[in-house]
Chain A
């Protein structure tokens, strides 16, 4: 009896230790990036153009930050709309063959290498238009986030008790009202989380942007048909340069990017809490 209890305790200890260990890398990354990067971040860092490698002003990540925000919101508008309605369809018409196939495809898409999605956007939106453009980047990002949003929205609608759906339908109101008014208010924390996860995903992706937006140094935004920059792309470019100052900008940009993503996750946690209470 005693031996078994001891075994149980040891096992529990080992598993807890492993759980702690698996969280260590994330903490290390966060601490490391903030320790290295936070000291360069201030208001002018968020606004200014990137600096030349040597000489001139200290500079900042203005174009990349503006570009990232534009790309994120555009991707969220496109991917959010498509993803939301796909998720709704998958949940409420799950008996149809189309829904079954769609779900299968979405599950494959989650695992898709994002660089391939970037190449696809290049071949249909960059090469034919003869220019790198912001829209192609947003398009690629929205394809990346659609499966995440759709599958999470599906879960959110699936979790609504059947009795509630029946009650809503029994009122005799139209389908659209049932899904978008009655049921959405119940599923809204799940739907919001789905959108926020999509947004965080769009903020951090580099590969879909490599072939689509080119990047921009001395311009913020000149239209959706023109090149634009993004924070992950800037980090990728500056971190591989030999110049100390560009490394500093890359560290600072990493801290900013991490803050954006952490902020999104904290908001999504708060959303869940608020609804629970």
Chain B
């Protein structure tokens, strides 16, 4: 019996020691942070000396689901171009998770639909700073499933879309929709309003647009990653998880309306609606309408090391310009300004410089995405110079 007890005691103490050892890196990293922060001061000289040297390795990133197809296309192309020297490993885990992992220092870069939130930005300002810049244009389309109405025929205004999601317009043959579409035969059917059920950058941008064009929406609902949808309380709203969930719900429900990122609508073949812009024109996200929107925006965009949370997305939706597509937005890449490993710095610089120049050429852009105009790409190129 005694021998047994001693045995148990020994086993328990071994377990305690093992768990202690496993947990100890946490303590060690806390203690060593100031030291590593100091050593990062040194590398620049060696790095400058080695600019001619050829680096190889892997950079790990994660984040926005929306960015994923385009990022994989870039990573795949860059892998070929560098003959396997630079491996970009991007995993789509969502903007929120990407930002959280980036904050924890688990990944080298984050992909995100919205830029960093203000509090995280401020936190990083005390820890060496970050840079964040747009890498691709993202547009959101309003999609519908009215059997006898073709894609690109239904005309809507921001005000009407807001009233549908507020639950005030409940039938497709409502006078306010008919007025916009005198030549369409709209059915007397209930509108099923589909929206995202998960927290999403898409919802944030879409509701920012609705807030900007509808005072009622701004007062009653507002803009966030998730909101309380008034239409749900009437029983006419349906939530879908992710762009794919919304797309599937729109396809399954006749007489529904929804909002998805353009690349999804493009791939799945959903019917898109024209939206009235500030200039009074009805537009779809085309190369021309997106370009016009971006030209109107260029002057208000901050620098890569500045806080973007004030202007994004509230200031950039519904831009001026006669041809502008109103729900035009960006996807961002977020980097730290300081990395311990000089190789990582060179690889990150090399890859993102390529993304912002060659990567924006038509042959490297996945259909449904729009490239950045050179003025906007310059924000990132300038920002990359801050990497140390």
Contacts and interface: CB of A to CB of B under 8 A. Distances in A.
B76 A49 contact: yes
Nearest to B80: A56
A217 B89 CA distance: 6
B75 A217 contact: yes
Contacts of A124: 22-23
Interface in B72-108: 72-73, 75-77, 79, 84, 87-92, 104-107
A244 to B, nearest CB: 8
B104 A214 contact: no
Contacts of A215: 89, 91
B247 interface: yes
A128 B25 contact: yes
B43 interface: no
Contacts of A217: 72, 75-76, 88-91
B91 A214 contact: yes
A126 B69 CA distance: 26
A241 B244 contact: yes
A65 interface: no
B279 interface: no
A18 B100 CA distance: 49
Contacts of A105: none
Contacts, number: 94
A132 B242 contact: no
B141 interface: no
A204 interface: no
A55 B70 CA distance: 12
Q: Report whether over half of chain B's contact residues are helix, strand or loop; otherwise say mixed.
A: helix
Interface in A31-63: 49-56
Given A127-B104, A130-B105, A132-B107, A55 B73 contact: yes
A52 B72 contact: yes
Interface string A193-233: 00000000000000000000011111100100011000000
A233 to B, nearest CB: 9
B295 interface: no
B268 interface: yes
Contacts of A188: none
Contacts of A54: 69, 73, 366-367
Interface residues of B, number: 39
A132 B107 CA distance: 8
A201 to B, nearest CB: 23
Contact of B76 (A125, A218, A241): A218
Interface in A147-184: none
B79 A96 contact: no
B91 A98 contact: no
B76 A51 contact: yes
B4 interface: yes
B106 A218 contact: no
A240 interface: yes
Contacts of B247: 242
Q: Report whether over half of chain A's contact residues are helix, strand or loop; otherwise say mixed.
A: loop
B22 A218 contact: no
Contacts of A50: 72
Nearest to A54: B366
B22 A53 contact: no
Interface in B335-388: 366-367
A218 B89 CA distance: 7
B268 A98 contact: no
Nearest to B25: A128
B242 A130 contact: no
Given A96-B4, A243-B267, A227 B76 contact: no
B286 interface: no
Interface in B262-307: 263-264, 267-268
Interface string A56-78: 10000000000000000000000
A128 B23 contact: yes
A219 B68 contact: no
A215 B29 CA distance: 24
Given A128-B29, A222-B58, A241 B68 contact: yes
Nearest to B74: A52
Contacts of A272: none
B92 A132 contact: no
B60 to A, nearest CB: 6
A237 interface: yes
A53 B69 contact: yes
Interface of A: 49-56, 96, 98, 124-132, 214-219, 222, 226-227, 237, 240-244
Given A55-B73, A219-B87, A219-B89, 4 more contacts: A52-B76, A54-B366, A128-B29, A237-B91
10 contacts: A52-B77, A96-B4, A124-B22, A128-B25, A218-B75, A227-B89, A242-B247, A242-B264, A243-B69, A243-B267
Interface of B: 4, 8, 22-23, 25-26, 29, 58, 60, 62, 68-69, 72-73, 75-77, 79, 84, 87-92, 104-107, 242-244, 247, 263-264, 267-268, 366-367
